Chains A and B, each alone.
Chain A
Amino acid sequence: MDYELIGITVLWTFLYGYLIVASIDFGAGFFSYYSSITGREHIINKVIARYLSPVWEVTNVFLVFFFIGIVGFFPSTAYYYGTALLIPGSIAIILLAIRGSYYAFHNYGEKGSLFYQFLYGATGLLIPASLSVVLTISEGGFIILEGDQVLLDYPALFSSFYSWTVVILAIVSVLYISACFLTFYAYKARDIDAFKVLRGYALFWSFPTILASILVFFALNQHNPVHFEKMVDLAWMFSLSFLFFLGAVYLIWKGKRLGLSFVFVMLQFATAFYGYGASHLPYLLYPHLTIYDGFTNEAMAIALIIAFIAGLFLLIPSLYLLMRLFLFDNKYVQGRK
């Protein structure tokens, strides 16, 4: 396997990690706010706060890892994406900044400020939409090269059916992933009332999620038939994803083995996400940039991979400790610690 492939696999894995942890986080913020304005906060907010408070910072790091890593392995992405994405990128930064800081203000500072809660709940839905622009433009057709200028074609972006399906998919999957996780967490906490509410959310959002996934498939066929062809070649991964989806929804419906059901949710997104990524190769930005153009030099690639492995030796035990203390410690989850 060459360094380019190792590099993109590492980065894709971090993006997948971000997809899962950030979705839980973003969705939870929304549900937390929604339950406050509908007068059900006392039922589910405790469950949400107990999980989120110790991990919110960690979530953010996954994203930083990805965008620092991609410039490290593929410095030319900075040129193309950096120039084109000034506005959407800056908007995403501002939303992330508002969300992150108001989350802390709300949870560690003024408890119960509904306005702060609104800010971090609402931005949680806008961030996935703004970040998904990157995936959209990677399909090509939205970037104009003029001399040394890289321009983003906003009219094309906003009028594209494909770009809207991606936005919708991003938002509904956030709510779906988050609700599934919180259902599991509430179940572990033996908080039956919260469990009932969250199970309702999970089932409610499962339908639009699968619908949006199918919609994206067809929109991509219109937008980038070459990529679509390659995705069809990997159809088994997407079929597997659908089976995991059915398994997860079935278990949540029955209200049993909820840990396994969340594993199914993770596998559902893993198979679809890696299937999408693999079929997108070798392009980073279709058709201008492949993983073989402007790849970092060999010395740096080796150094990055060594740093990455050394870092994992540090991170995995630490993350394990974090999960042991806050996720799999029944006494903590149930609020007895």
Chain B
Amino acid sequence: MRTNDLILKTTTNIIVFIILAFSFKLFLAGHNMPGGGFIGGLMTSGAIILMYLTYGIGPINKVFRVPFTILVAIGLSIAVATGIGSFIFGQPFLSHTDGYFYLPILGKSHLATAVLFDVGVYLTVIGVTMTIILSIAEDR
């Protein structure tokens, strides 16, 4: 018998966007406030897990077409690439730089290359968490 989980689905639809927005905020806040790639990635995977819980593995797998193991590799390559990027500018490995730029809507913003490294961490954390949970879930 299929239970009617309309309430769960409706609340999930709303809440997932709030969690994703909050995790993205946490991810960007890392430089000046508590937050960063690790906690942001964990929270994003929390939102994804909520979707899996509500809709089941089949439908959500149609949404996420990139397998999560590949996501780990993409995250790692971004992190390594930011380290190697410093080679081109004649700096020691992992040297990072920052600066102030005028962006169209946001105005004067502080942009740092350390964020790119954090993107790597973010993707790796999502990939690892989801790989662990999904491979346990799919194991019958």
Q: Do A and B come from one complex?
A: no
Give the B-binding residues of A (Cβ under 8 A): none
